[in-house]
Amino acid sequence: MTTKFTKDHEWIRVEGDVATVGITTHAAEQLGDVVFVELPDVGKSFDQGADMAVVESVKAASDVYAPISGEVVEANGSIVDAPESVNEAPEGDAWFVKLKLANAGELDGLMDEAAYKDHVANG
């Protein structure tokens, strides 16, 4: 299972033709205490880079973008009920959605972990 990252601080893990998407630990740290999460409905489709979800903290509200094009096959309702879990496990249990891949080739344009760490370090 490979994890890729976007310049907007989303991560994506692909298994078969379904990708799990969330925000990175760096993004969660920058946001501070998360108090609200809005997720898309199952069945909604997004183009790569489209606004897909909203995460709000005591500091700011941020859009979460679709790292790849696809259709939502599952939304993580547990983070809506307990938004603070996004701070506790942003790259684990606090994933946002699962997307059915529309174009696996889009994954080639995303960063691997080393490139993402360099992106964060060098702004």
In whole angstroms, what is the distance from residue 42 CA to residue 118 CA? Answer: 34
Domain ranges of the chain: 2-122
Question: What's the Cα-to-Cα distance from 47 to each of 44, 74, 92, 121, rounded to whole Å?
Answer: 10, 17, 24, 28
Decide the pairing of beta strands 34-38 and 18-23: unpaired
Spatial contact of 120 and 28, defined as CB atoms under 8 Å apart: no
**Confidence check: pLDDT of 123 > 80:** no
CATH topology of domain 2-122: OB fold (Dihydrolipoamide Acetyltransferase, E2P) (2.40.50)
Please name which of 110, 79, 81 lies closest in space to residue 96, comparing C-alpha atoms: 79
Share of the chain above pLDDT 90, in %: 97
* Overall average pLDDT of the 86-102 stretch: 97
Tokens of 31: 């946001």
pTM of the model: 0.96
Length in residues, the chain: 123
Residue 70 near residue 19, CB atoms below 8 Å:
yes
Instruction: Encode pLDDT of 7-39 as tens digits.
Output: 999 999 999 999 999 999 999 999 999 999 999
Mean pLDDT (whole number) for 81-85: 98
Rounded Cα–Cα distance for residues 90 and 10 (Å): 10
